[in-house]
Amino acid sequence: MTDTAIPRLSALAATVVLAAALLLLPTAHEAEAQSLLSAGGLGMPTDAPDARSRMLGGVGIGMSGSHLLPHDPAAAGRVGLPGISATMEIGTETPEGGERARRTLFPSIGVIYPHGGNVFFATFSGALNQEWEATAQPVIDFGDREVRALDVFRGRGGISAARLGMARPVTDRISVGASIGSHVGSIERDFRRDLNPSDVGTGVEPFTSEGIWRARGLTAVGGVSIDVSSVLRVAGSVTWSDDLELSPSEDTDGESLRVPMPTELRVGSYATVAPGLGFALSLQTADWTGAAGAMGDEAAPGRVWQWGAGLEWMNFSWLERQFPVALGYRQRDLPFSFLGDAATERAFTGGFGAYLSDLDEVNPLARLHLGLEVGSRTSDNWEESFFRTTVTLRLSGG
């Protein structure tokens, strides 16, 4: 066995194990659980879909090295080995004075394959998520007596984007990429009212109503990544989406709803400000006015912004392996209102990477990043804290 065969074997074995582990994971639709703030509109947009971006407070674009990121297609142009990248997150949300809810998300998975000077890739990433429940205990007046009831409304859904794309380096310093695909997923809502049997009598049945709307809509991303110098990279991308068509399922009453989706702009940069010390800064903006209007959200903020920045220390090693560590901060507006008020999310971020096996500087074989975020989401009438752990595993082989 030659030396070059060694990494092939390890990557293949790990890929098989990783694939098996991923099969055990709930799908994006099953595993979603979100903040109550996801009750607004189409839900809460999925944040940067990888752990390294999150630990640097970024929006998922413009980082050093080579990557497979759904909203930074040009970054794939620098990838030299086929591979797979998958991210999952575990988090908790704790409303002020409320109970903590735990959730799991599976923000993205991607496959990449360089061939003939081009790099082909496929990504499946979360876009919008909803998982929430509201209860009420109305007392119904029947004139001669009162009847207690329990109302439960549950909203859940996951809209993801499946895209195929291609990227290629244009010069040594410039890479471009694009992908196209479709939004997929559904929004599900159900309502149930139970009357208290002790107020009504035995044999009381619940009232239920439910609806499922399937989501479809074209989406495409184009981007460019430029190494301005050996210590500075800048990148930008545009994510365009056609109207999201929400079609009621066979058992659901009503007409299809077309929701205009915003064009999202992302820019990001990564500068090596000192030997082993990187600084990342990124920004994202999108105008959700049309989507909010279609969803009847009159108090939505319209154009929303997200920005974040972080420092990455690359010179830490352990067991002869590089373990970069990072700290950052980010802030974003949420596109839909909650109980009539716009909300903002803020978080301190951090984390570390584990470069388990690298062929060379731009061709990692096995890397793991773990991002941690501690933050809050606030509006005029709501406050909740959250903690999130994100793990991205990237495996490559020759």
Partner 1 sequence: MKSRASGGALGAALLAGFLALQSCTDEVPTSTDPALIPVEVETFEVLLPFGDFADGFRIDGGYGTPSSLSTNRIILSEDETFEVRPVLRYPSGPAVVQVFPPGETQTVPDSNYVTTGGRVTITFDTASHRLEGLPPYEIEAASVLEGWHTITASWTHAVDSIGGVVPWSEPGGGAVRHLETFLFDPSDSTSVTFELDSLTASEWIVTENLARGLRLRMTEPGKAIRISSTSVEYDLVSEVDPDTALTFSGSPVTSASTMLLSRPADGGEGRMLVGGAPSHRSTFRFQLPDSVDAPSALCPGDGPCRVEVTAERVLFAGVNFTTMPTSPAALVPRDSLILDMRPVLAPDRLPRSPLGTPVLPEGRIVGGEQFDEDGEAIIEIPATRLVRDLVRHARQGGDDDPPPSTVSLISAAEPSGIGVATFRGPGTQGAPFLRIIMTTSDGVTLP
Residues 219-258 within binding reach of partner 1 (CB under 8 A): 246, 248, 253-254, 257
Amino acid residing at 6? I
Q: Residue from 208, 249, 263, 315 that binds partner 1 (CB under 8 A)?
A: 208
**Candidate ranges 66-74, 117-125, 201-209, 234-242; the one touching partner 1 (CB under 8 A):** 201-209
In the bound complex, what is the minimum distance in angstroms from residue 371's beta carbon to partner 1? 13
Sign of dihedral through CA atoms 310, 315, 316, 321? positive
Q: Residue from 205, 250, 251, 361 that binds partner 1 (CB under 8 A)?
A: 205
Q: Residue from 159, 220, 261, 393 that binds partner 1 (CB under 8 A)?
A: 393
Does the footprint of partner 1 cover residue 139 (CB under 8 A)?
no
Does the footprint of partner 1 cover residue 151 (CB under 8 A)?
yes
**Candidate ranges 55-63, 70-78, 147-155, 160-168; the one touching partner 1 (CB under 8 A):** 147-155
Q: How far apart are CA 315 and CA 68, in angstroms?
A: 23
CB-based contact 139:148 (threshold 8 Å): yes
Residues 316-335 within binding reach of partner 1 (CB under 8 A): 321
Which of these, 252, 156, 161, 261, lies nearest to 213 by C-alpha position? 252
Residues 5-64 within binding reach of partner 1 (CB under 8 A): 6-7, 9-11, 13-14, 17-18, 20-22, 24-26, 31-36, 39, 41
Residues 104-123 within binding reach of partner 1 (CB under 8 A): 104
Q: How far apart are CA 285 and CA 301, in angstroms?
A: 12
Strand partners, 259: 244
Q: Residue from 148, 168, 193, 216 that binds partner 1 (CB under 8 A)?
A: 193
Q: Which residue has the tokens 């802030």?
A: 331
Rounded (10°) CA dihedral 5, 7, 11, 13: 60
Does the footprint of partner 1 cover residue 354 (CB under 8 A)?
yes
Binding pattern for the stretch 152-181 against partner 1, x by CB under 8 A and - elsewhere: -xx-x-------------------------
Instruction: Name which of 11 and 343 has its Cβ closer to partner 1.
Output: 11
- What beta strand segments (E) does the chain contain? 44-45, 83-95, 101-115, 118-136, 139-141, 146-169, 174-195, 207-229, 232-241, 244-248, 257-259, 264-274, 277-287, 303-313, 317-318, 321-322, 325-333, 344-360, 363-379, 382-396
Does the footprint of partner 1 cover residue 387 (CB under 8 A)?
no
